[in-house]
Amino acid sequence: MKFDTPAGTNPIDQLKVVGKPTDRIDGPRKTTGTAPYAYERHDVVANQAYGYVVGAGIAKGRIASIDLSDAKAAPGVIAIVTADNAGPLAKGKMNTAKLLGGPQIDHYHQAIAVVVAETFEQARAAAALVRVDYARGKGRFDLDAALTAAPLKGDSSGEGSSAPPIERVGDFDKAFAAAPVTLDARYTTPDQTHAMMEPHASIAAWEGDKLTLWTSNQMIAWGKGDVALTLGIPKENVRLISPYIGGGFGGKLFVRADAIMAALGAKAAGRPVKVALTRPMMANNTTHRPATVQRIRIGCTKDGTITAIGHESGSGDLPGGGPETAVSQTKLLYAGANRMTAMRLAVLDLPEGNAMRAPGEAPGLMALEIAMDEMAEKLGMDPVEFRIRNDTQVDPAKPERKFSQRNLIACLRQGADRFGWDKRNPKPAQVRDGRWLVGMGVAAGFRNNMNMKSAARVGIDRKGIVTVATDMTDIGTGTYTIVAQTAAEVMGVPIDKVVVLLGDSSFPVSAGSGGQWGGNSSTAGVYAACMKLRETVAQRLGFNSTDVEFADGKVRAGNRSVSLAEAAGDAGLSAEDGIEFGDLAKKMQQSTFAGHFVEVGVDAWTGTVRIRRMLAVCAAGRILNPKAARSQVIGAMTMGVGAALMEELAVDKRFGFFVNHDLAGYEVPVHADIPHQEVIFLDEVDPTTSPMKAKGVGELGLCGVGGAIANAIYNATGVRVRDYPITLEKHLAKLPQIA
């Protein structure tokens, strides 16, 4: 199905099933422990052995020698694979560094061997006996130092956030110099890790020259292609199966060492092998969100109109990597005739930087939304009104290109009213609740919408059961449910008459889970397949497909009514189709918006910050399942609390690794950190995005949260912190005197 004109009225608009707050159909399996995750697939293949990955003990250099004799002699050891005996391996298109290192080492904890044994404990013990001598090289591990000579670099996050090396509109330098009120400030965000609950894990089994991987991967088609490329085998000889994923946040968009080392170990052992990366290897071996150093300059007239806005960001990555596109939202979020965005990319020898939930906008808005508050204070304006004053309904760089829909003002107005913003004291450090300094903060949320080609196969059996099969994944986002809702709506059956099969590369290729494109795109693909199946049913029954009605498990046309079960017959019926998007997103800017409001308390004695309440008002097209969408947004808000207050990978700048590489040292929010959260979705549809008229929301819920928290802390204390995370030592000495 081609989608190149805005959607008109269609079966989704019935909203009998779609748009309802529906319980997760996979919930019972999740809560009873029967959902099959990758490492636990004891049922799929017999005689599984265990692999344990050995990571490089240096960040840069080469392996001088490797002694496997003690490890090979250890109890239970079946095989050991290193670069010496793995055979030729390529680097996947989605990988910056090789997944199996040696003799050259690209980063700390790069996989250099996998030890396969009868039990996990035996594999781990033997791996500790692998003796490696290194020739350590000189590495680059200090972002600030590396940025002094870093070149300008443009790139895309691959998730809708992109920017050229430098982009100018008007004359920024002249306008900024002439502006009556100006701000010029530096902000930093640290390296962060995904810290998902389920580790990267895979079981590999060979049958002749064909490989099956039960793995934890967000993008099945991407993964299949890169596994084949890395191992040098035809794509048709690779099958990936990933029906349940225990969190990804972008860290499982790409094939990682667990999959390749399991495949190599299984080939060497002559039997299936399972591999899970340890928590330290998840931090240092897989991808992370890169740190940024950002400079923001804003020039305004005295009435608060932005005349000049400039945003520069620097980040680092391994050779061949790309920048964190932290300036992307600044191109579109606020008006201003004179604009400049620029990015610099430093070469670092730290582990690979790549996509993490809302790459680009998440760290970019952590800086931009503090800058907007600082500018509002200079102007003596309310921060909400300052943002509204500088709203734009067109792309500032291309005024002829309008937003398909933009309700940022409604998000801010409704949020301010609901949150009680009028009770905020604009003068910092004035409100106390016992020993707590109390403050409110606001930030705008912004995330681009992306559409991805997506397909599905839909069938009806002789019992009237509708089955949907697509390689789409569920990373805890509720994909099973919204796919079932879509099929139920279009085929006119109750949701309990729909079976959903996901995460298998033998199924039609979907959008996959990433960039908040998955929900809208994958359901649009299911819609396309269902509409084709409706035509097939109508043709079999001799009905006019334009007049046919699918409802209550029946097909009706005129005075005739036939059950779906009868229409399918003993052989059943099926159809396969997908959604292919035209250029509507080029003609109009498709984006999502939010207003984030936060109240914090800061202990006047210790400087400890506590979140008191949070509100997100989101404008993201049609909400397919408000219950699941709310869960996504409150999860994103929680992640924003972590980014603002505690999450930071500490870099050892001597040896080039992340020191706090486990959940004991890398702090993330827990239930006790998160009080009342409220989410409001604006009632809107966007017919330019797909037949579903929806957009993504899972990353929008994160974008802006950090800035809102930082602004609330300033309102509470009068101390402005521009370097995340905002830990107590950064403002403790400057807190107001205690009476």
Domain assignment present for residue 664? The answer is: yes
* Angle in degrees, 0-180, between the axes of helices 361-379 and 626-645, rounded to the nearest 10: 70
Among the candidates 584, 612, 647, a domain finishes at 584
Tell whether 471 and 601 lie within a shared domain: no
Mean pLDDT for all residues in the chain: 97
Q: Which tokens hold the place of 284?
A: 């240092």
Instruction: Report CA torsion sign: 296, 300, 305, 309.
Output: negative
**Which residues have C-beta within 8 Å of that of residue 600, sequence separation ≥ 6?**
438, 439, 441, 609, 610, 611, 612, 709, 712, 713, 716
Domain assignment present for residue 424? The answer is: yes
Residue 569, amino acid: G
Closest CA to 451 of 503, 504, 404, 499: 404
Provide the H-helix boundaries in 148-240.
172-178, 220-231
Domain assignment present for residue 132? The answer is: yes
Tell whether 481 and 396 lie within a shared domain: no
Residue whose pair of structure tokens reads 């399996």 in the numeric block = 29
| Per-residue model confidence as pLDDT tens digits over 463-494 | 999 999 999 999 999 999 999 999 999 999 99
pLDDT at residue number 556: 96
Once rounded to an integer, what is the mean pLDDT over residues 72-87?
Answer: 98
Among the candidates 252, 281, 310, a domain finishes at 281
| Per-residue model confidence as pLDDT tens digits over 402-428 | 999 999 999 999 999 999 999 999 999
| Per-residue model confidence as pLDDT tens digits over 310-344 | 999 999 999 999 999 999 999 999 999 999 999 99
* Angle in degrees, 0-180, between the axes of helices 705-717 and 361-379, rounded to the nearest 10: 40
Closest CA to 298 of 241, 373, 365: 373
The pTM of the whole model exceeds 0.85? yes
Tell whether 548 and 667 lie within a shared domain: no
Domain assignment present for residue 150? The answer is: no
Q: How many residues does the chain have?
A: 739
Tell whether 159 and 273 lie within a shared domain: no
- Cα distance between residue 187 and residue 166, in whole Å: 19
Provide the H-helix boundaries in 380-407.
383-389
**β-strands 498-501, 466-469 pairing:** parallel
Tell whether 444 and 368 lie within a shared domain: yes
Q: Is the pLDDT of residue 739 over 80?
A: no
Tell whether 134 and 205 lie within a shared domain: yes
Domain assignment present for residue 739? The answer is: no
**β-strands 210-215, 201-207 pairing:** antiparallel
- Greatest Cα-to-Cα distance within the chain, rounded to the nearest angstrom: 85
| Per-residue model confidence as pLDDT tens digits over 201-226 | 999 999 999 999 999 999 999 999 99
Domain assignment present for residue 182? The answer is: yes
Residue 736, amino acid: P
Q: Is the pLDDT of residue 728 over 70?
A: yes
Tell whether 67 and 215 lie within a shared domain: yes
- Cα distance between residue 164 and residue 126, in whole Å: 48
Tell whether 405 and 545 lie within a shared domain: no
- Cα distance between residue 683 and residue 73, in whole Å: 66
- Kind and range of the H or E element at 281? helix 279-284
Q: How far is CA 307 from CA 100, 135, 390, in A?
A: 51, 55, 10
Q: Which tokens hold the place of 316?
A: 């680092």
Q: Is the peptide bond before 319 cis (omega within 30 degrees of 0)?
A: no
Domain assignment present for residue 214? The answer is: yes
Instruction: With cut-offs at 50, 70 and 90, classify the pLDDT of residue 180.
Output: very high
Tell whether 295 and 163 lie within a shared domain: yes
- Residue numbers of the domain that contains 133: 43-138+201-281
* Active-site residue, from 324, 369, 647, 699: 699
The 3-state DSSP class for residue 723 equals: strand
| Per-residue model confidence as pLDDT tens digits over 657-680 | 999 999 999 999 999 999 999 999
Tell whether 512 and 649 lie within a shared domain: no
Tell whether 556 and 599 lie within a shared domain: no
- Cα distance between residue 629 and residue 623, in whole Å: 7
Q: How many domains does the chain have?
A: 3
> What is residue 152's DSSP assignment?
B
- Cα distance between residue 374 and residue 645, in whole Å: 19
Among the candidates 550, 584, 618, a domain finishes at 584
- How many other CB atoms are there within 10 angstroms of residue 342's CB atom? 20
Strand 466-469's sheet: what is its strand order?
2-3, 573-581, 454-460, 466-469, 498-501
Q: Buried b / exposed e across 239-264, counting CB within 10 Å, b at 16+?
A: bbbbbbbbbbbbbbbbbbbbbbbbbb
Contact 442, 449 (CB under 8 A): no
CA atoms in the 13 A half-sphere facing the CB of 391: 21
| Per-residue model confidence as pLDDT tens digits over 265-302 | 999 999 999 999 999 999 999 999 999 999 999 999 99
Q: Where are the beta strands (DSSP E) in 349-397?
A: 394-395
Q: Buried b / exposed e across 553-579, counting CB within 10 Å, b at 16+?
A: ebbbbeeeeeebbebbeeeebbbbbbb
The 3-state DSSP class for residue 635 equals: helix
Contact 492, 560 (CB under 8 A): no
> What is residue 563's DSSP assignment?
E
Once rounded to an integer, what is the mean pLDDT over residues 539-553?
Answer: 92
Give percent above pLDDT 90 in the chain: 98
Residue 312 annotated to the active site: no
Domain assignment present for residue 143? The answer is: no
Provide the H-helix boundaries in 53-111.
69-73
- Cα distance between residue 18 and residue 160, in whole Å: 26
Q: Domain with 91 in it: what CATH number?
A: 3.30.365.10
Tell whether 558 and 610 lie within a shared domain: no
Contact 93, 225 (CB under 8 A): yes
